[in-house]
């Protein structure tokens, strides 16, 4: 089969790709990208913004496309062959990245332009691009002597491989675990849909009874509804001990190595810690500011969380005589208490949230707000039959984007939900290249008797990822590295988190919350209850998120060289946020993919940071009307379309007129009432 990856492509040729096409394609793309860099450095003319900064920006475009395609496959449809290839390709890319960052003659040209920046009459976007390119060099070792440059290369190469191995271990642990149940009483309490899915899974593997796995659509219902406490404990420990078994898939040593290498890298570059290095390019700016932010929220949330936890303990005691509440009891009794307090549970809601209707709903909301339309198309190649594709157009019929959507779990797909891009938006000459965006989730699959019906939590997850997708699809900038979600990490969650707000609004729910069998609209009393229950146990939920932020900073804001015990280090980080007793068999860090495999190291706080932005921003929508065209247009113009072309706070103030206020989050979360 002809290797279509060897040459530039527009739409990803998924159905024509063989795994062995990737390596030669990467080798050719790297060769071409190196030639483009050589051309810039060898130019005899004086360096200019056009022949150096813009030329550098558009170099390696084919390599970037190839990388986004390959690494998303490694997350969404992987196998041993692809994982092995990733271990070979990652060091090649790291080496190339270092070759650019540590290229002295290239840096000299960039620096020469940077010194003249005030005389060049650059646009705001050009100025930001120059700043970004210069900092890429200066922050990544361009000033270092050769010996230190060599050390930096070695660290980066090792880090790339360790992060991949970490993720492979987590995926292997997730796929390897099955809880095989054969007695009806063992699945007592499980909703019919969850039981049917477990029955089908067991049958597909030639087994009698039911199979429960660590995939979210299997794990969450069991932890929420299964009456058998011992089995909940067994499953919770399996879930919480991924990478923590002192075997070949153990991640403890990897975690310590990654943290230490990141610290060494940062100090080599002149920073006090990895967090100091990372946060220099974030809205939060310093570890001290992050710590203060987390501690301020902790002070506000902890009293509320304690009240909620005591209520939950008292309730569990009244219900079942349980005096000590453990992690495997949390979701179970929280759901029972929620049902009692609000007469609301996910099983009542799920029939109103058929996946296809929710997709249609998020499309209609986006159409109303931003004037775009979505049409499912079947002439786009995909990497799996589950993947749907949509053409996105503006109100004049012009193409805005291509959207891929992949909704269900399978063995070669990692857990969680994410948005990615197969092609960035940018403008070259008179052509505005439109983006190809993908959202990937792990929602309950349809069964023989039922379509895919979402829990309310899955509905908000879909809206969240779709918010990221809108940030990518509505991008309208000149340069790919400033386009879409290429923004400061603590700003990137604003478009995603603000979208979740529409899930709680009657006007929005009426567009898509219809019973999958009768077509009946979600009853008004259930809409009211969704709204009322939005802040249920918000103090506990806030404390949980803060605990992850504290753990992240504990790994990355100080010298980690004295850490020998991963579990003890974690307990020290959690000391102010713990509600449930610790479970010695479990460890968060060894499966904390966000910070040890993904891009959230020294950045997990950004979820809460962005919640402050989104609460403040949505308060503006509420004030003017949640479908107010004027507010939506301001959000589109100043946030969604602008990417990283200006500083985030400047963009936010252009949208909102002022900086965000923490009180907007506390008020929405109901924490002001509980703490006085």
From 494, 483, 163, 498, select the one nearest 362 (Cα to Cα): 498
| 465 in active site | yes
Residue 625's region, left for phi above 0, alpha for psi from -120 to 50, else beta, is left
User: 676 pLDDT exceeds 60?
Assistant: no
Q: Say which of 57, 77, 458, 465 is annotated catalytic.
A: 465
User: 260 pLDDT exceeds 50?
Assistant: yes
Kindly state the tokens that stand for 561: 């060289």
CA gap 614, 635 in Å, rounded: 11
165-221 pLDDT, tens digit per residue, is 999 999 999 999 999 999 999 999 999 989 999 999 999 999 999 999 999 999 999
In this prediction, residue 599 carries a pLDDT of 87
Question: Beta strands 399-406 and 436-440: pairing type?
Answer: parallel
581-629 pLDDT, tens digit per residue, is 999 999 999 999 999 998 899 999 999 999 999 999 999 999 999 999 9
Domains of the chain: 4-143 (1.20.1050.40), 177-240 (no CATH), 344-504 (1.10.1370.40)
Kindly state the tokens that stand for 458: 């899955």
Question: Beta strands 426-428 and 431-433: pairing type?
Answer: antiparallel
User: 371 pLDDT exceeds 50?
Assistant: yes
From 294, 293, 291, 306, select the one nearest 539 (Cα to Cα): 306
Kindly state the tokens that stand for 614: 């989104």
From 557, 634, 647, select the one nearest 603 (Cα to Cα): 557
| Rounded mean pLDDT, 11-26 | 96
Residues 6+ apart with CB under 8 A from 246: 252
From 414, 384, 4, 404, select the one nearest 214 (Cα to Cα): 414
| Rounded mean pLDDT, 382-399 | 96
The helix, strand and coil proportions of the chain, stated in percent and rounded to the nearest 5, come to 60, 5, 30
Q: At what angle do helices 287-320 and 606-624 cross, to 10 degrees?
A: 80
Q: Which residue, chain included where needed, has tokens 């995926």?
A: 171
CA gap 179, 549 in Å, rounded: 31
Q: What percent of the chain has pLDDT over 90?
A: 92
The 3-state DSSP class for residue 224 equals helix
CA gap 110, 104 in Å, rounded: 10
| Rounded mean pLDDT, 52-58 | 98
| Rounded mean pLDDT, 339-353 | 90
Count of alpha carbons within 13 angstroms of residue 463, beta-carbon side: 28
| Rounded mean pLDDT, 150-154 | 96
In this prediction, residue 670 carries a pLDDT of 85
Q: With cut-offs at 50, 70 and 90, classify the pLDDT of residue 674.
A: low
- Max Cα-Cα span within the chain: 82
Residue 273: how many CB atoms within 10 A of its CB? 21
User: 51 pLDDT exceeds 80?
Assistant: yes
CA gap 544, 298 in Å, rounded: 10
Alpha helices in 139-191, H assignment, sequence order: 146-176
| Rounded mean pLDDT, 118-122 | 94
Q: What percent of the chain has pLDDT over 70?
A: 99
User: 657 pLDDT exceeds 80?
Assistant: yes
227-252 pLDDT, tens digit per residue, is 999 999 999 999 999 999 999 999 99
CA gap 259, 553 in Å, rounded: 11
Contact 500, 494 (CB under 8 A): no
Mean model confidence pLDDT for the chain:
95
From 189, 234, 187, select the one nearest 211 (Cα to Cα): 187
The per-residue DSSP string of 286-337 comes to: SHHHHHHHHHHHHHHHHHHHHHHHHHHHHHHHHHH---S--HHHHHHHHHHH
In this prediction, residue 673 carries a pLDDT of 64
């Amino acid at each position: 089969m002809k290797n279509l990856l060897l040459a530039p492509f527009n739409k990803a040729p998924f159905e024509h790709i063989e795994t062995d096409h990737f390596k030669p394609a990467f080798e050719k793309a790297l060769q071409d990208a190196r030639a483009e860099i050589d051309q810039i450095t060898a130019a005899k003319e004086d360096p200019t913004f056009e022949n150096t900064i813009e030329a550098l920006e558009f170099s390696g475009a084919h390599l970037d496309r190839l990388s986004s395609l390959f690494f998303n496959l490694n997350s969404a449809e992987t196998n041993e062959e692809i994982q092995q290839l990733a271990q070979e390709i990652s060091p090649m890319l790291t080496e190339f990245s270092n070759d650019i960052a540590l290229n002295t003659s290239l840096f000299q040209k960039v620096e020469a332009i940077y010194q003249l920046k005030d005389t060049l009459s650059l646009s705001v976007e050009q100025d930001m691009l120059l700043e970004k390119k210069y900092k890429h060099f200066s922050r990544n070792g361009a000033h270092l002597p050769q010996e230190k440059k060599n050390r930096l290369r070695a660290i980066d190469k090792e880090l790339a491989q360790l992060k991949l191995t970490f993720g492979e271990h987590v995926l292997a642990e997730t796929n390897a675990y099955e809880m095989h149940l054969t007695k009806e009483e063992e699945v007592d309490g499980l909703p019919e849909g969850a039981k049917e899915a477990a029955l089908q899974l067991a049958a597909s593997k030639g087994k009698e009874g039911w199979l429960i796995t660590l995939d979210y659509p299997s794990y969450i219902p069991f932890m929420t509804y299964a009456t058998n406490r011992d089995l909940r404990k067994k499953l919770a420990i399996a879930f919480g001990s991924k990478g923590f078994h002192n075997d070949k898939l153990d991640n403890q040593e990897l975690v310590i190595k990654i943290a230490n290498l990141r610290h060494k890298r940062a100090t080599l570059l002149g920073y006090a810690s990895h967090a100091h290095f990372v946060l220099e390019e974030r809205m939060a700016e310093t570890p001290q500011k992050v710590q203060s932010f987390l501690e301020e929220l902790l002070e506000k949330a902890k009293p509320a969380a304690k009240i909620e936890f005591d209520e939950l303990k008292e309730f569990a005691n009244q219900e079942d005589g349980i005096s000590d509440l453990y992690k495997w009891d949390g979701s179970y009794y929280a759901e029972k208490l929620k049902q009692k307090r609000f007469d609301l549970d996910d099983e009542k809601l799920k029939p109103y949230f058929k996946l296809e209707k929710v997709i249609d709903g998020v499309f209609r909301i986006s159409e109303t707000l931003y004037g775009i339309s979505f049409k499912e198309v079947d002439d786009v190649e995909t990497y799996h039959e589950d993947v749907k594709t949509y053409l996105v157009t503006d109100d004049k019929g012009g193409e805005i984007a291509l959207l891929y959507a992949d909704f269900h779990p399978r063995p070669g797909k990692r857990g969680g939900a994410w948005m990615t891009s197969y092609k960035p938006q940018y403008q070259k000459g008179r052509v505005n290249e439109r983006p190809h965006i993908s959202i990937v989730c792990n929602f309950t699959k349809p069964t023989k008797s039922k379509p895919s019906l979402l829990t309310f939590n899955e509905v908000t997850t879909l809206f969240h990822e779709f918010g990221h997708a809108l940030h990518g699809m509505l991008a309208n900038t000149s340069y790919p590295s400033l386009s879409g979600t290429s923004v400061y990490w603590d700003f990137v969650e604003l478009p995603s988190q603000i979208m979740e707000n529409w899930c709680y609004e009657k006007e929005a729910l009426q567009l898509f919350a219809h019973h999958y069998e009768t077509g009946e609209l979600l009853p008004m009393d259930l809409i009211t209850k969704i709204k009322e229950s939005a802040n249920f146990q918000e103090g506990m939920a806030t404390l949980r998120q803060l605990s992850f932020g504290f753990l992240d900073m504990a790994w990355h804001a100080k010298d980690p060289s004295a850490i020998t015990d991963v579990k003890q280090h974690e307990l020290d980080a959690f000391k102010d946020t713990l509600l449930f007793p610790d479970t010695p068999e479990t460890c968060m860090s060894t499966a904390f993919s966000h910070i040890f495999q993904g891009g959230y190291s020294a950045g997990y706080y950004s979820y809460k940071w962005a919640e402050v932005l989104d609460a403040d921003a949505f308060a503006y929508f509420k004030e003017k009307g949640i479908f107010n065209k004027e507010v939506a247009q301001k959000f589109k113009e100043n946030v969604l379309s602008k990417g990283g072309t200006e500083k985030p706070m400047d963009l936010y103030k252009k949208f909102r007129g002022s900086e965000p206020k923490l009180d907007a989050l506390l008020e929405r979360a109901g924490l002001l009432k509980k703490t006085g």
